[in-house]
């Protein structure tokens, strides 16, 4: 995986779910969206993405990885069973995987670069939600070590 921009590493607390995000370009600010869905509120979910970037997610122990979905079932929260952190959310849309990563799971990033906003997607129908994800989520996603 190679990108022409900023490389960001991240992952869960214990290292079981790790990721490398090759950001498209070198942003002055990193958008950080605090989702107001019930799951994100309870877990402090704040997400970012680089639609033109590339994401590789590595799962060291597939038995300690769990996917959780609720509501429309169109997003999969990747939960580490060991430490409880949710570093990545993915969505399968028309045969492609899209994803966002947790800004709380980023490593080595100056937090002053984060541009915090809130996000409310509760009024979206499923088609609108999936269209938004294809435009705004990371479109080049690879999982290594993921269970089916």
- So what's the pLDDT on residue 146? 73
Give the model's confidence band at 4: pLDDT under 50 very low, under 70 low, under 90 confident, else very high.
Answer: low
Give the model's confidence band at 109: pLDDT under 50 very low, under 70 low, under 90 confident, else very high.
Answer: very high
* List of residues 6+ apart from 5 with CB closer than 8 A: 22, 23, 24, 25, 26, 50, 53
Least confident of 18-22, 115-119, 122-126: 122-126
Greatest C-alpha distance within the chain: 38
Q: Which candidate, 21, 29, 45, places its Cα nearest to that of 112?
A: 29
- Cα–Cα distance between 142 and 97 in angstroms, integer? 8
DSSP codes joined into one string, 37-48: SHHHHHHT-EEE
Is the pLDDT score of 8 beyond 90?
yes
What is the percentage of the chain residues whose pLDDT exceeds 70? 96
Is the pLDDT score of 80 beyond 60?
yes
- So what's the pLDDT on residue 121? 75
Please give the structure tokens belonging to residue 104.
Answer: 């709380």
């Amino acid at each position: 995986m190679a990108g022409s921009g900023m490389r960001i590493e991240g992952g869960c607390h214990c290292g079981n779910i790790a990721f490398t995000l090759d950001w498209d370009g070198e942003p002055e600010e990193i958008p950080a969206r605090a989702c107001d869905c019930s799951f994100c509120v309870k877990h402090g979910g704040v997400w970012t993405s680089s639609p033109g970037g590339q994401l590789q997610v590595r799962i060291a122990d597939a038995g300690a990885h769990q996917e959780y979905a609720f509501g429309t079932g169109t997003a999969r929260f990747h939960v580490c069973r060991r430490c409880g952190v949710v570093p990545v959310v993915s969505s399968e849309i028309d045969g492609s995987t899209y994803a966002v990563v947790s800004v709380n799971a980023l490593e080595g990033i100056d937090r002053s670069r984060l541009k915090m906003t809130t996000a409310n997607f509760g009024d979206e129908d499923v088609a609108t939600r999936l269209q938004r994800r294809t435009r705004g989520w990371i479109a080049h996603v690879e999982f290594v070590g993921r269970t089916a």
